[in-house]
Amino acid sequence: MQPIYTPGGAESRPPTIGGLTMLIGFILIGGVISTLLLFVILAVSKGMGLTEAQTYLSDLATNPSATAGSWYELMLLQAMNHLGTFFLPALGYWYFIERRRWSQFSARPVSAVAGLGLVAFIVIAFMPFDGLVIEWNQNLHLPETLEPIENWIRAKEKGLEGITRFLTTFNTVGQLLVAMVVIALIPAIGEETLFRGILQRNIGFWTGNAHIGIWVSAALFSAIHVQFLGFFPRMLLGALFGYLYVWSGNIWVPILAHFVNNGFTVFMVYLHQQKVTTLDIESTQSVPITGALTAGIITAGLLYYFKKSNETVPGVRSEEPSGVHD
C-alpha cells in the first residue's frame, strides 16, 4: 500500500517542511479572520461595537439558551470557524504553496472507485464498535499524581457537553437541515481536505509509508478537537477515513464517509427527539458488548472487501515517486 501522491505539472511543488509551516500559519490566520468577521457581522446586525460583540459571543457560549435566536448564531459561528480554520487554509496551501488543483487530491476518478455504495454501510457498521471504545475511553483515568489535570479535563468537557446538547436540539425540520450543513457537510469537506488530503498525504510522502501517514494524521485529527475523553474513538474514526482514502484513491470517499458519520448521527438524534425511535445513538450503553464486537467484525469484513475490490479495478494512475514504499 502506497501513499497517495499525484505529481502535477512543471509549476507544482512537492511538500516541504517549510510548506507545512506556511499551512500552520494559514490555519492560525484563518481562525483569527473568521472570528473577526463574525464579530463584524454581529456588530452590523445588532448595532454593537466589536468589544460588545466579543462579550456577547462569550456570554452566548456560556449560556446559549438565554438569548432568542442564539441557536442560529452559534451555528453561524461553527460554520465560519470550520471554513476559516480547516477548509480555506487547506485550499490556500494547496493552490498557492504546492500550486496544485483540486483534481490532484485524487489518483483515481470517483467513477472508477469500486464499492462506493459500501462506504455508508462501513461507517454505520463501525458506530457500535466505536461506541464501545468511547465508553472505554471515558472510563480511563490518569495516574493519581495527575488527578488535578484529569479533573480539569473532565470539567472542560462537561462544559462543552452543554453547548453540544443545545446545538443538537432540533425544534423544526429547518434546524435539522441547517445542522446537516453545519455539523455534517462543512466539517466533512474541510477536515478531510486538511487531514487526509494534505497532512496524511504529505506525512506518507515524507516517511514513504502510508500507514504512518494515516495514523499520525488521525491522531492530529482527534487532538485538534480537544476532547481528550474521546481521543481514541475519534482517532480510530480518522484512521478509518484514512484507509478509505488510500484504498479508493479519491478524496470524495473519505468526505462521503465523514458526512455519513456526522449526518447519520444528527438524523438519528432528531428522530429520537421526535419520538420516532427509542434508539438513543448518543448513548454508549445502548449496544451490548457482543453487538459491538459483532459490528467490529462486520466492519472489518466490509473494509477488506472494499480494499480488494479497488485493488483489481482499473483507473489508478501509478504516479508515486521512486522510493515510496509500504
Nearest alpha carbon to residue 257 among 121, 132, 63, 151: 121
40 within some domain: yes
Q: Is residue 189 part of a domain?
A: yes
Q: Is residue 324 part of a domain?
A: no
> Does some domain include residue 36?
yes
Cell numbers linked to 53: 460583540
> Taking the complete model, does pTM exceed 0.85, yes or no?
yes
Q: Residue 4 has what pLDDT?
A: 66
Is 251 within a domain? yes
CA distance 128 to 6: 35
Q: Cα separation of 46 and 52, whole Å?
A: 10
Q: Domain residues for 290?
A: 17-311
**Tell me: the pLDDT tens digits for 205-235?**
999 999 999 999 999 999 887 777 788 999 9
9 confidence band (pLDDT: 50, 70, 90): low
> Does residue 323 lie in a domain region?
no
- pLDDT tier at 147, thresholds 50, 70, 90: confident
Q: Give me the number of domains the chain comprises.
A: 1
Residue 1 lies in a domain: no
What torsion, rounded to 10 degrees, do the Cα atoms 228, 217, 165, 51 define? 90
What does R_g of the chain's alpha carbons equal in angstroms? 21
Residue 318 within a domain = no
Q: Is the pLDDT of residue 153 over 80?
A: no
For the segment 43-97, what is each residue's pLDDT rounded down to a tens digit? 788 777 777 777 877 777 777 776 767 888 889 888 999 999 999 999 999 999 9
